Structure 1
Amino acid sequence: MSEAVSPSSATTRRAVTRINAAFADAGVAGQLHALDIDSGASVSVAATQLTPTSSLHKVCLLVTLYREAAAGRLDRTRQIDIPAGERTPGLAGLAVMRDAVRMSLRDLATLVVAVSDNAAADILWRAVGFDAVNRTMAELGLTDTVAVHDMAAIRDALRAQPNLTDPAAFADISVLNPALTNRSTARQMAELFAAVWRDEVCSGETAEELRALLGLQAWTHRMASGFPFDDVRVSGKTATLPTLRHEAGVIEYPDGGRYAVAVFTRAASTASVLPAADAVIGTAARIAVDALRSP
């Protein structure tokens, strides 16, 4: 493994300037925290600003699942019977399956990461519990990372707003207000991923399984787009709400370099398809990691 070297203040300043310019060019306001998992060196842009996390909070849920399993308080292989038609709606996974299903908790977790399965996530929310998730985040020192809503509640809050194309209406939507919904900061989400990779959540086979799980995400249009190399591994989880696009994860280089990165963005446009807002997550992450890898 190559020795991690902290970037100079000039290198960090240049990276922050380039990241802010990239955010502006993409039409978004952004927050970023990139952390060298081994040296602790970091690059930050507005990284302590509280932001709604939506699906990104599924990572907190899965971290708690595996931490509870490692402590012997929960069996991640426990089978759950899931009747047809009694599932949180969504665009993939269990929500679109027509028949009854029987799955283990850890296989539900696989769907949660791979296709951001809302139905699978809500089954896990019931099995693990909000109290356990929030307690785990507090134990890890992530006191700004708080769970309030499951995915069904987030969906219901959005459906209650008839006009999601009017920015003025967003002020009334609870799940877009970090004081009222699942929330965290870019710094703490990066620190959470770093804790998983440092075996601070759990260790041994359980930790290896959790890291492998977090590498199964199907979506490559955000953070992974900044690292188009066969020998660089990107693990992570996205989140999307009206105007909000996030991703947090870990970038692993073949020389042993490991970097936890979280990028949060809010677009000025309410359009649901904004390729530039997706792509800038990868661009910003790459600039930050390049700065961390710079002598």
Structure 2
Amino acid sequence: MSPADEVRAVFRDAGVRGWLHARPVSGDGPHHSDRDVDAGAHAPVVMASVYKLFVLVAYCREVDAGTVDPREPVVVPVPRTPGLTGISALVDPVTMSWRDLVTSMVTASDNAAADVVHSRVGRDRVAALPTELGLPGTRIRGGTDEVFADLLADTGTDDVAAAFGVLADNDVPVEVRALSPVYGSATTAADVTALLALLWRGELASEASTAFARRLLGAQIWPHRLRAGFPAPTQVAGKTGTVGAVRNDVGVVTYPGEHPVAVAVFTHSARSDTTVPRADAAIGAAARVAVHALRAPAL
């Protein structure tokens, strides 16, 4: 059985539709640039919070250009974009630096921080990044605030918590734009691994900004998806994405003494429950199959 077939079997056993791509980060040598694992890698998928990777890249470039001072204090007022983590979960105005807002955006997937940073670096600028970087399967339309506005309209609710309650009810069929790649932000697994490889090789930002981005992605607080597929000595740096039945995780996996491998896993579970442990576990299991097929010693 090929690695791609093994990945599909993992998705099937978990009761999810899944799409995966993995590629070595190194672009040189016959053992790296011509190898990958493709399980629906070019199909359009819902990004959810994976879009924050593009906001991170845009922020790093603005810092490099001198148009954003990472230490500048920023007052984030209320109301702001809701969420369960970061300043989204707080009830009072917050003052933070730009770099601390970005840290919360990436490590905790902070929706409010993401929308503030997204607006600062320029939503048009972020939307233009996929074309600029040669990622034809990716489009970014707005931020989390706009996704939530559509979610309220589609579910007929007055607040985000109620909207997610509707999404979690398997007995209430709801057509929601946030769960379809036809609307809003979308990408492909192959585009995301290409972005991660460019970032990891230092081709998107300065050495200092690249180190900053890699450090944040390595500090993500969610260990139950991609991270769960690999043993403790392995370094896993990445970004999750979740909305309703959509559960994603993308990142770079590095075994000690080996070349890093970029892997992107996107899933849509059969059930819409708030917690679907088998779907989360499938992300790590599928990633492990793909990464193991591409492991190679560092020269």
Provide the TM-score with structure 2 as the length reference: 0.89
Aligned to 1:293: 295
Distance (whole Å) between structure 2 residues aligned to residue 127 and residue 195 of structure 1: 23
In the alignment, structure 1 residue 90 sits paired with structure 2 residue 83: yes
Aligned to 1:176: 179
SS of alignment partner, residue 284 of structure 2: helix
Aligned to 1:6: none
For residue 75 of structure 1, what is the amino acid of its counterpart? Answer: D
Query: CA shift at 1:214, angstroms?
Result: 1.3
Distance (whole Å) between structure 2 residues aligned to residue 219 and residue 108 of structure 1: 18
For residue 285 of structure 1, what is the amino acid of its counterpart? Answer: A
2:115 equivalent among 103, 122, 126:
122
For residue 220 of structure 2, what is the amino acid of its counterpart? Answer: Q
Aligned to 1:269: 271
Distance (whole Å) between structure 1 residues aligned to residue 145 and residue 230 of structure 2: 33
Distance (whole Å) between structure 2 residues aligned to residue 137 and residue 71 of structure 1: 19
Distance (whole Å) between structure 2 residues aligned to residue 75 and residue 180 of structure 1: 34
Distance (whole Å) between structure 2 residues aligned to residue 188 and residue 294 of structure 1: 22
Unaligned runs of 5+ in 1: 1-12
1:73 equivalent among 53, 67, 81:
67
SS of alignment partner, residue 2 of structure 2: helix
Distance (whole Å) between structure 2 residues aligned to residue 266 and residue 137 of structure 1: 23
Query: CA shift at 1:267, angstroms?
Result: 1.0
Any idea what the Cα deviations from partners look like across 1:155-213, whole Å, max 9, x if unmatched? 2322331542358844x322222122111001111111111101111121111111111
Contact map agreement 1:33 1:44 (CA 8 A) in 2? yes
Aligned to 1:144: 137
Question: Quick check: 92-101 or 209-218, which moved more?
Answer: 92-101
SS of alignment partner, residue 96 of structure 2: strand
Any idea what the Cα deviations from partners look like across 1:15-43, whole Å, max 9, x if unmatched? 11211111000001110000111122211
SS of alignment partner, residue 214 of structure 1: helix
Q: Output aligned runs, 1:223-242, within 5 Å.
A: 223-229=226-232, 231-242=233-244
Q: 1:35 to 1:167 in 2, by over 3 A?
A: farther
The alignment yields a C-alpha RMSD, in angstroms, of 1.8
Aligned to 1:5: none
Contact map agreement 2:261 2:295 (CA 8 A) in 1? no
Question: Quick check: 90-99 or 114-123, which moved more?
Answer: 90-99
Unaligned runs of 5+ in 2: 27-31, 157-165
Question: Quick check: 207-216 or 27-36, which moved more?
Answer: 207-216
For residue 106 of structure 1, what is the amino acid of its counterpart? Answer: R
Any idea what the Cα deviations from partners look like across 1:134-160, whole Å, max 9, x if unmatched? 222221111322111311222232233
Q: 1:197 to 1:48 in 2, by over 3 A?
A: same
Distance (whole Å) between structure 1 residues aligned to residue 234 and residue 97 of structure 2: 31
Aligned to 1:153: 146
Query: CA shift at 1:253, angstroms?
Result: 1.5
Aligned to 1:250: 252
Query: CA shift at 1:257, angstroms?
Result: 1.6
Distance (whole Å) between structure 1 residues aligned to residue 296 and residue 219 of structure 2: 29
SS of alignment partner, residue 35 of structure 1: strand
Distance (whole Å) between structure 1 residues aligned to residue 84 and residue 113 of structure 2: 12
In the alignment, structure 1 residue 53 sits paired with structure 2 residue 47: yes
In the alignment, structure 1 residue 34 sits paired with structure 2 residue 22: yes
Query: CA shift at 1:294, angstroms?
Result: 6.8
Distance (whole Å) between structure 2 residues aligned to residue 248 and residue 94 of structure 1: 23
Question: Quick check: 139-148 or 153-162, which moved more?
Answer: 153-162
For residue 109 of structure 2, what is the amino acid of its counterpart? Answer: S
Contact map agreement 1:167 1:270 (CA 8 A) in 2? no
SS of alignment partner, residue 56 of structure 1: helix
For residue 289 of structure 1, what is the amino acid of its counterpart? Answer: V
Query: CA shift at 1:221, angstroms?
Result: 0.3
Distance (whole Å) between structure 1 residues aligned to residue 120 and residue 268 of structure 2: 32
Provide the TM-score with structure 1 as the length reference: 0.90
Contact map agreement 2:101 2:114 (CA 8 A) in 1? yes
For residue 152 of structure 2, what is the amino acid of its counterpart? Answer: R
For residue 220 of structure 1, what is the amino acid of its counterpart? Answer: P
